[in-house]
Amino acid sequence: MDIQIAEYVRFITLALIPFMLAITVHEYSHGLSAYMLGDDTAKRAGRLTLNPLSHIDPLGILFLLVTRLFGWAKPVPVNFGRLEKNSKYGPAIVSFAGPFSNLLLAIISAVVLHFVSNIEVARGSVAMKILVPVVGMLSLSVRINIALFVFNLLPIPPLDGGRIVQSLLPYNQAVAFSKIERYGFIILIVLFLTRTIDAIIIPIIRFFLQILL
């Protein structure tokens, strides 16, 4: 039991920074893409920032502590009706910007991880004591960002994938599809409890991890 607790504490210690960076960049990317397309709602709300304190959702962090893989931040406010520069595909662009930023972070983390892993240092040296946790954080950064990338693209509103699908559907179908959002969180909880979500996304996550790691 003590070993399990120690491993869990080690995981939390190493995962916290990569997770905070992942959700911060994710939400910032939503806000920035919306701003570039004409909507300054996120900026006026003080959310167009890379300060993680502006994006933290305690429940999202708690979910990370439980699942050791998934979590979320407070959604950045976006007024899709103000996306004047691309009113047709703007919502899809803004929605995809978040998951895409996680994919980029995963790739960058993987590149840095491969570089750092090839550095030769003496066993027990100060450099070794620094590199070991850095390697652990980079590895977790790849895993967390890929998990967020895949999870958020599930076609279930209010996830980004659901908003992408909704924005690409004809108006009547989009209105009908949007009604699912009120049940979205319940659907996700059921998928997690029945482990259905594992069967859906874990193979996809493993596919990306095999390429990057």
Would you kindly state where each structural domain of the chain is located, as residue ranges? 2-154
- Looking from the CA of 120 toward its CB, the CA atoms found within 13 Å total 0
Angle at 74 between CA 73 and CA 75, to 5 degrees: 105
**pLDDT tens per residue across span 43-86:** 999 999 999 989 988 888 887 777 777 778 899 999 988 887 77
Distance CA 205, CA 151 (A): 9
Distance CA 78, CA 197 (A): 28
Whether the Cβ atoms of residue 146 and residue 68 lie closer than 8 Å to each other? no
Q: Which phi and psi (to 5°) does residue 79 adopt? A: -100, 95
Residue 12 is predicted with a pLDDT of 85
Cβ burial of 60 (10 Å; 0-12, 13-18, 19+) is middle
- Among the ranges given (125-129, 178-182, 198-202), the one the predictor scored with the smallest mean pLDDT: 125-129
Q: How confident is the model at residue 2 (pLDDT cuts 50, 70, 90)?
A: low
Whether the Cβ atoms of residue 70 and residue 64 lie closer than 8 Å to each other? yes
Active site residues: 27
Residue 84 is predicted with a pLDDT of 77
pLDDT at residue 203 is higher than 90: yes
Radius of gyration, alpha carbons of the chain: 19
Distance CA 8, CA 5 (A): 5
Residue 158 is predicted with a pLDDT of 86
Cβ burial of 36 (10 Å; 0-12, 13-18, 19+) is middle
Whether the Cβ atoms of residue 38 and residue 83 lie closer than 8 Å to each other? yes
